[in-house]
Structure formats: C-alpha cells, structure tokens
Amino acid sequence: MDNALNNASENVVNDAVANRNVLISGASVAGPALAYWLHRHGFTPTVVERAPALRDGGYAVDFRGEAHLSILRRMGILDDIERARTGMGSMSYVNSAGRPLAELPADLFAGDVEILRGDLARILYDATKEHTEYVFGDSVTSLAEDADGVTVTFERGEPRRFDLVVGADGLHSTTRRLAFGPEEDYVRHLGVYCAIFTTANHLGLDHHGHAYRTANRLVAMYSARHNTEAKAVFYFGSPILDLDRRDVARQQAVLVEQFTGNGWQSDRLLRDMRFAPDFYFDSVGQVRMDAWTRGRVALVGDAAYCPSSLSGMGSGLALVGAYVLAGELADAHGDHRVAFARYEREVRAYAERCQKMGDGVAKLMVPGNRFLASFLNRYYRIMPYLPGRNLPAKIARKTAQNITLRDYAANGARSQ
C-alpha cells in the first residue's frame, strides 16, 4: 500500500490546486517533513530558517509504533534513519561514585528507532533540498494577510508574497507570536530547565547512559554516534527565568550556579561545557492552543502543540502533524479553509494524548526535595521486579500509535 501511495503521488502537479506557494518557517523536523509532503502533493514549499545553517547537536529523539514508522517508510528515509540510529540500550541511575543503583529499559527511552535530532534534520534536508527552496540566516518579521495571500517581511531578505504561511518554528515560535499573540498566552512552563551539549565519552559508555539525581537536579550522560562521543544533559527545577535565549554566556553561568559541587560528573561536565560546539539551553514547556490556524496561517509541530521535551512524543507528533496538514491541503485542492479545519479535527485528540505523556514527568525527573529524590532512586531500584515494570513503555507505545492515518491521494480523494 505504501508503494502504491508513493507512485500515485510522486511529483504530481495538479493545475486545479489553489494556494500552491507555501512559506514554512523552521527547518528542524516539522518544517522539512511538511515541505516533503507538500511537494509530493503538487505544492511549492519554501523554508526559511533563522540559523545560518542546519543546526547540529540536540538530544536524541525517537519514533515508536506503526503510525510513526509508516510515515518514515513512505518518505523513503526509514533506512537512512536506521543507519544513523543511536542504538541506545538501557539507562542506569547511579550514586555520586558512579555505582549503578537502578536500570531503566531501553524501550522507555529509545522506542523503535532513536536518532540524534541533528542527524534527523540532515536526513530530512537531504530528502527535500532538490525541490524545496531553503533560506538560511533569515526570519519572518511581519505577516500582512489579504484576500489573495500573505505579504511576508524578513529580517534580511526582501518582502515576498505567499499563498499560505506555516509556522514550524518550535516552542518559541515567531510565526505564532505574529499571527496569534504573545508567547505567554500559549506556552505553559513546566518548572524545569534543560541544557544539552556534546562532550567526550570519557566514561566509555557503550550504547548506554548514566543519570545522577539529587533534589531539584538531574545530570546525565549517554553515548552517541556509535560511542565516539557523548551527550551531557542537565535538568534543574526553577520558575521561569529572565534570560535572553541567545545569551549563551549567561545560560552557562546559570548552570554553573546550579550544579557546581552537585556531585558525580557535574563539575567535569561544567568544565567541558565551555568547549562544546552545540550548547543548547531552554525551558521545558508545553504549548496549549484552542486553534492552530488563523486565516491563511497554520502552525505545526512544537509551535502548535509541543508536548514538552520530556514526553518523548515531540518528533513523532510533528511528523504526524506535517503529514496530515499536507494531505488535507491536497484533498481540499488547496482550499485552506477546508483543509485547516480538517487538519485540526484529525490531529487534535492525538496531540492532546501525546501532551498527557509530558504532564507530571517534570516532577519525577527533578523532584523538589531530597526525600522524594531518595524515594524515587529506591523505587527505580526495585521497579524491574514489580508486576507493572513495563507499563510506562507500553503506555508510551499505545499513545504513539493511537491514530489512524489516511492514505492521501495527490489530487484529493475525499468528497467536498
């Protein structure tokens, strides 16, 4: 069935398709995935990305269940993802001396296939670059919609006209702010901050990870790229901080304040942090919106329904949203009013279930006091022997595949 879909829809240009020229803001996961499907359905996508080039680094992301894997297979990139997969095994919680206290199974973290976000972005870019215009080093500054389209202004480039605009620009979406209103109306801070960067695999981790938890803090390391490097991850509990998201020096100073003397590998990793080429720091939050579309503007992925980086559902949800949005536009022959309403109806319940996976995780990751941290460490030690030890992984898998995806024909099969 997948091959039939691919043959039927590849490079089809339907002269009856309206609103063919689509601007997508964001070149991480949702943006290139949407560009892929739009092109397959006869649209002309343009992707604008604030970063000067594809952003490497970031944490590992995973896909699980047939809903995710079928989309990757239909895009023809599943084999590439398999080759670049992390191959991660279990994660061990350790004490201050590095001695394992408890071990959590791989399926809870890595799903069916896990890949570094930067590697995934590269694969998606390679799959779309021949038929998608990419504009790096620029960003949308204003949107002026009229009856026939949207005039878009940019930080650096000249203004341009597009039929539709889609924000795939993440938790702190500029498109969302311009079209829907200020970030604080939609982003719910979960009380946790996260930092991640690449470092040397000085612990000799073999497709494995170690995590060290204290009150209100968690430090972890896991191997990456076939053990040739490692990812260092810091989580700490905090109310929202007044920080410039581009002030790396200040962000690193905050980590030093939070984790100096914390124990285990904390101080070593703080020193290594200064030399990391891909330091990333951000709040952990969810995006909750009553509507993801307005006029000729739509949102997809984290910009619309971020479930939080702790949910393990963000990339899979972004993939599903991009597939459905492009498919509904094709089925509606480019009529955005019809397609946008159907997109929201098809994805809404699924997105809400994925977001529930992120609820409450923050408090378990970084418990607010020493007693709870100690209790969780003890609980994880006995968890492998409990009857419900596989329940969290089963719930995650059930949530990930709890959507029925339509096989969208290129020129629209659904009756109007």
What pLDDT sits at residue 314? 83
Number of domains in the chain: 1
Tokens of 223: 């191997």
d(CA 268, CA 265): 5
d(CA 265, CA 319): 35
What pLDDT sits at residue 144? 98
d(CA 378, CA 380): 6
Report CA torsion sign: 339, 340, 345, 348.
positive
Assess contact for 325 and 298: CB atoms under 8 A. yes
Helix (H) or strand (E) holding 135: strand 133-136
**Which residue range forms the structural domain that includes residue 353?**
2-368+391-400
Assess contact for 380 and 386: CB atoms under 8 A. no
Residue at 355 is within a domain? yes
Residue 345 is given by DSSP the state H
Residue at 201 is within a domain? yes
The one-letter amino acid at 46: T
pTM of the model: 0.88
What pLDDT sits at residue 413? 40
Count of other CB atoms within 10 angstroms of residue 395? 13
The one-letter amino acid at 251: Q
What pLDDT sits at residue 107? 61
Residue 185 is given by DSSP the state G
CB within 8 A of 330, min separation 6: which ones? Answer: 9, 17, 41, 42, 43, 408, 409, 410, 411, 412
Assess contact for 5 and 407: CB atoms under 8 A. yes
Residue at 36 is within a domain? yes
d(CA 1, CA 220): 42
What pLDDT sits at residue 378? 62
The one-letter amino acid at 313: M
List the chain pLDDT tens, one digit each, 416 residues. Answer: 344 444 444 444 445 678 999 999 999 999 999 999 999 999 999 999 999 998 876 777 888 888 888 999 999 999 999 998 877 777 888 999 999 887 776 666 666 788 888 899 999 999 999 999 999 999 999 999 999 999 999 999 999 999 999 999 999 999 999 999 999 999 999 999 999 999 999 999 998 999 998 888 999 999 988 899 999 999 999 999 999 888 999 999 999 999 999 999 999 999 999 999 899 999 999 999 999 999 999 999 999 999 988 777 888 999 999 999 999 999 999 999 999 999 999 999 999 988 887 776 666 666 666 655 665 666 566 555 555 555 556 666 677 677 889 888 644 444 33
Report CA torsion sign: 78, 79, 82, 84.
negative
State the Rg of the chain over Cα.
21
d(CA 227, CA 167): 35
What pLDDT sits at residue 170? 95
Report CA torsion sign: 302, 308, 310, 313.
negative
Report the CATH number that the domain containing residue 193 is assigned in CATH: 3.50.50.60
Residue at 226 is within a domain? yes
Residue at 373 is within a domain? no
| Phi-psi domain of 119 (left: phi exceeds 0; alpha: psi -120 through 50; beta: other) | alpha
